[in-house]
A and B are shown apart, each in its own frame.
Chain A
Amino acid sequence: MADSILKIQQVSKVFDLGRGRQLQAVQGISFDVEKNSICVLLGPSGCGKSTVLRMMAGLETPTSGQIVIGGQEVDGPGRDRGMIFQAYTSFDWLSVRKNVEFGMKINGLSAADRRSRAEHFLDLVGLTKFADAYPSQLSGGMRQRVAIARTLANDPEVLLMDEPFGALDAETRWLMQELMIDVAEKTNTTMVIVTHDLEEAIFLADKIIFLSSHPGKLKEIIVPEFKGGKRIPDKEHIIKLNGYSDMEEKLMRLMREEGRRDE
């Protein structure tokens, strides 16, 4: 595969809970994220997926180890690593278009450039018709599209997403998953996506980083070989592929092992 853009090197995170108590959330994790790939962080609840992602974003600092992006050590948040959360993050006081332009505006792009890039990314996520609406007038799925367009329009090196579709109903969720494949193919954006949904992981991932819990350690790196090195654009299609159910079974087994260890 291509060069790696993000390197996670022996990263650990210990949270200080106060009164001398500490919690090791992540322990000695290392992996690489290849340029233009979709990397999925999967694992049981509480295994430290969000913590790893937040350290990549620079919103948390590793207790030890380091995270390197494009040869530079991550030190705080920056526009090269755009992040999308499960909770809605639209700026309610701005129209959809102004939301999408927000990042570009604070980074000093000219009004004309902002406008045309916003048009482009609104079109990409299918929101052109809603450009002048306020986010509060949109459905949950559409609001996440706004967040995706806003982040992409800001031209990040990596798109970090923490259970971005976790709050959506099943149908909207798989539409959004298909949208992400489409976006990845059209924009060549590198993505790191956290989920605990097995189907979502298999559908989206070029590579799955499976974490085990308490403390969060790297359990296994899984490449869904059955896709034959391609991305499958729709969900009906992928479940019919040879090897899909084996993959699902394997991930289920890993999940279950983790669940049992917790008891």
Chain B
Amino acid sequence: MSSRSRPKRFLEVRKPVGRRQRVISALGIWVVFFGVWVFATASGMVNELLVPAPQQVFATTYELFFERGFTSDVLISITRVILAFGMAATIAIPLGVMMGTFPSIEAIFAPFVSAWRYLPAPSFIPILLMWFGTGEAPKLALLFIGVIFFLITIIMDHTKNVREELIETALTLGASRGTILLKVVFPSVLPDIIVAMRQMLAMAWTYLVIAEIVASTTGIGAMMMRARRFLNTDEILSGIIVIGALGLIFDLLFAALYRGMFPYLKEKH
């Protein structure tokens, strides 16, 4: 019997909670959430047409995937995100690293890039539609615009934070500018680049949904807008859940990538 220990109170200032308590708490809040939802629909408190029961939403999700070809919509959405995000990263990584390394490059691009960051990407939708019509181009362009300027700026800032001593050490070992850029600055900022990409990917999903809701006949967002016309709220909610799940999966993939690429970093994320 550990006699002297005070009984543990529920609210303890900054005392970490145990694993058991964390799992129970986490499950608890979701059980409450679904409980309220089930109760509200079963008791007729809410209109079943506007708020379908959770079990129905899950059944619909299953049906969408396995009977109604929703998979192709999901794949289209994923492809759009990967394409647009990939293009943005292909430009943002080298440019951001160059801007953070060479002040002359920063002097050229920084005034341009930072101005664009103040322009909300969705405000470009009307003009993108006029320029590119309703094909894939305006959706990719929206995602691209929405992501690239932030990505460049974040990568540039991280690159500037590469410690001067590392660069100077390399210089006194006889490194050329190219060596410094490729063998010192880039590897040293790479973990931060991956973290920045992970964060910006979440933003890309946001823009994807906007693009597909506003102007698309394919993809998850388009499916949801179709469902709206037929008052299929269960399908809309399925769409939301699928988007959330995809966001989570991509986030976990990036986390795994991070751990795999940087074994030398102690657990941080």
Given A59-B168, A91-B166, A147-B169: A106 in contact with B175 (beta carbons within 8 A): yes
Q: How large is the interface on B (under 10, 10 to 19, 20 to 34, 35 or more residues)?
A: 20 to 34
Q: Would you give the shortest CB distance from B140 to chain A, in whole angstroms?
A: 33
Give the total of A residues in contact with B, Cβ under 8 Å: 30
**Is A242 an interface residue when CB atoms closer than 8 A count as contact?**
no
Given A87-B163, A91-B166, A91-B188: A81 in contact with B264 (beta carbons within 8 A): no
**Is A160 an interface residue when CB atoms closer than 8 A count as contact?**
yes
**Is B165 an interface residue when CB atoms closer than 8 A count as contact?**
yes
- Write out the residue numbers on chain A whose beta carbons fall within 8 Å of the beta carbon of B173: 79, 82, 102-103, 106-107, 150-151, 154
- Write out the residue numbers on chain B whose beta carbons fall within 8 Å of the beta carbon of A57: 168, 172
When the two chains form their complex, are residues B266 and A136 in contact, meaning their CB atoms are under 8 A apart?
A: yes
Cα–Cα distance between A59 and B169 once the two chains are bound (Å):
10
Given A89-B169, A91-B166, A106-B179: A154 in contact with B174 (beta carbons within 8 A): yes
For window 37-85 of A, CB contacts with B under 8 Å fall at 57-59, 77-79, 81-85
When the two chains form their complex, are residues A83 and B264 in contact, meaning their CB atoms are under 8 A apart?
A: no
- Write out the residue numbers on chain B whose beta carbons fall within 8 Å of the beta carbon of A156: 172
Q: Which residue of A lies closest to B169 (CB)?
A: A89
When the two chains form their complex, are residues A79 and B174 in contact, meaning their CB atoms are under 8 A apart?
A: yes
- Write out the residue numbers on chain B whose beta carbons fall within 8 Å of the beta carbon of A160: 172
Cα–Cα distance between A154 and B174 once the two chains are bound (Å):
9
- Write out the residue numbers on chain B whose beta carbons fall within 8 Å of the beta carbon of A81: 172
Q: Which residue of A lies closest to B263 (CB)?
A: A134
When the two chains form their complex, are residues A85 and B266 in contact, meaning their CB atoms are under 8 A apart?
A: no
**Is A92 an interface residue when CB atoms closer than 8 A count as contact?**
yes
When the two chains form their complex, are residues B168 and A85 in contact, meaning their CB atoms are under 8 A apart?
A: yes
Mark B residues whose CB is within 8 Å of A: 163, 165-166, 168-176, 179, 183-184, 187-188, 190, 262-266
Supplied contacts A81-B172, A91-B187, A106-B179, 5 more A-B pairs, CB within 8 Å? A57-B168, A83-B169, A85-B169, A102-B173, A151-B172
Q: Which 4 A-B pairs have the closest CB atoms?
A: A79-B174, A103-B173, A134-B264, A77-B171
